[in-house]
Structure 1
Amino acid sequence: MRDPRPVHGRACASAVVLLVVVGLLAACASATPAGGDAAPVPEGVTSPAGRDPAADDPSSPGPAPGAQGGHAGDRGPDLSAHSPDDPSSPWVVVNKARPLDRAYVPELTEVRGYLLHPAAATDLTALLAAAEEDGVHLTVRSAYRSAEYQARVHDGWVAQLGRERAEQVSARPGHSEHQTGLAVDLGSTTQPGCDFSDCFGSTPEGRWLVEHATDFGFLLRYTAANQDLTGFAPEGWHLRHVGRELSAHLARERVDTLEELFDVPGGDRYP
């Protein structure tokens, strides 16, 4: 049905409606904050893309000092949880500058006829089993040593190599990680002649340890890259247990030594 009102009446009505709409739009515009910024996102609410708008704001403060990105579990271990000075600590640092009391004896258990700290023994058992599954057959060649036993080992190397060279490959009593019960020397079944020798690193067993030792909480403690800090020549067969969390943290952060991690002295000189 046509509108019975005169044309000029309809035109006037349309003009009134238009003025009302324009007024409403102007009122909405005046409600927008100065500068045209959008209303702030409530705390804890992210943008539709799942991104925190503050992340794009260059004036927004960054993470707190010491915090790392990612989930809370990616922040690494609490490095104050265990002391690098306590001989019973899983993170104790022993080297030429940091001796143990020669009378110290740790808690010990047995793996394949060798004594180790229980925490290290559990992870070593898992490591050996995983290697077997991969067709790699490692042997255990040495583990816990008392200070008295270490004295005999060191004297033997001095007699064989001379003191200068022996000091690079064998610790004096009280300065050996083996006394903590957290260190183990492994051997090769494919090339047993490389045990305790530089060529161990080129054996299938040595290569497997490079790839997998940290998965089980162990460090290849002595390498060519860290010799100046650890004080000892490379030993691809010598593993030091620190636990899976710390070994993963060291690998992730690409930190080579416990000396660096805990900021403690090392080097190739005895006190």
Structure 2
Amino acid sequence: MDGSCTQNFQGGSKTWQPATGVTVTYSQAGEYQRVINKRNPLSPIDYAPSDLVNVGGRYLRYQMALAFWQFADAASASGIPVTVVSGFRSYVDQASLYNSYVALYGQASADTISARAGFSEHQSGLAVDIGNPDGGCGLQECFATTPAGRFAASRAHEFGFIVRYPDGLTSWTG
């Protein structure tokens, strides 16, 4: 193993070499470089950003909105419409969503499909779920096979985005 990282997508893959000597710093929730996942909560746990802007009826932090609009413009120029499916969710909204999954599927399953309140990237205002304007394959694995999904897989990095949950890496991504 050479330490490189590969992300596969339909039509190819991207491989890169991670930087050496990088230290992850757990900073305040309002900062842009923040690891938020099932093991690293926001601090404060009920954090809400102050710079949210409306993007198609969903809210993103201002800098995230600018990046999304550039991404959407590039997709549109390629004949591929995209839309925001989900953006900022408050602590209360995330708790409600998680609890609805617990009620439907049980806690073990809910933990595989939703973050608990205070542990969601969406609460930072820096996470965006994208989709097709027609709603097809929204928040489903089949999205990767749509033109918008393929565009995101091949070009999202140009706008500062990552595909957060690449296929086959659940043990790594959580």
- Picking from 154, 159, 168, the partner of 1:216 is 159
Instruction: Kindly indicate whether residue 32 of structure 2 is the aligned counterpart of residue 90 of structure 1.
Output: yes
- Picking from 85, 91, 99, the partner of 2:41 is 99
Q: Percent identity?
A: 37
Measured in 1, the distance between the counterparts of 2:97 and 2:136 equals: 19
Q: Which has the higher helix share?
A: 1
Q: Stretches of 4+ moved more than 3 A in 1?
A: none
- Picking from 53, 67, 83, the partner of 1:109 is 53
What residue is the counterpart of 2:98 in the other structure? 154
Measured in 2, the distance between the counterparts of 1:228 and 1:131 equals: 31
SS, match of residue 222 in structure 1: coil
CA deviation string 1:21-79 (max 9, x = no partner): xxxxxxxxxxxxxxxxxxxxxxxxxxxxxxxxxxxxxxxxxxxxxxxxxxxxxxx7x96
User: What is the TM-score when the length of structure 2 is the normalising length?
Assistant: 0.80
Between structure 1 and structure 2, the one with the greater Rg is: 1
CA deviation string 1:69-116 (max 9, x = no partner): xxxxxxx7x967x94432122110001111112321113222222211
Structure 2 portions without partners, runs of 5+: 1-18
Query: Which structure ranks higher in relative contact order (CA pairs < 8 Å, sequence separation ≥ 6)?
Result: 2
User: What is the TM-score when the length of structure 1 is the normalising length?
Assistant: 0.53
What residue is the counterpart of 2:147 in the other structure? 204
Q: Name the aligned partner's letter for residue 45 of structure 2.
A: R
- Picking from 115, 121, 129, the partner of 1:171 is 115
- Picking from 73, 76, 80, the partner of 1:129 is 73
Q: How many residues align?
A: 155
User: C-alpha displacement at 1:145, in angstroms?
Assistant: 0.6
Instruction: Kindly indicate whether residue 84 of structure 2 is the aligned counterpart of residue 140 of structure 1.
Output: yes
Task: Give RMSD over aligned pairs.
Answer: 2.3
Measured in 2, the distance between the counterparts of 1:196 and 1:219 equals: 16
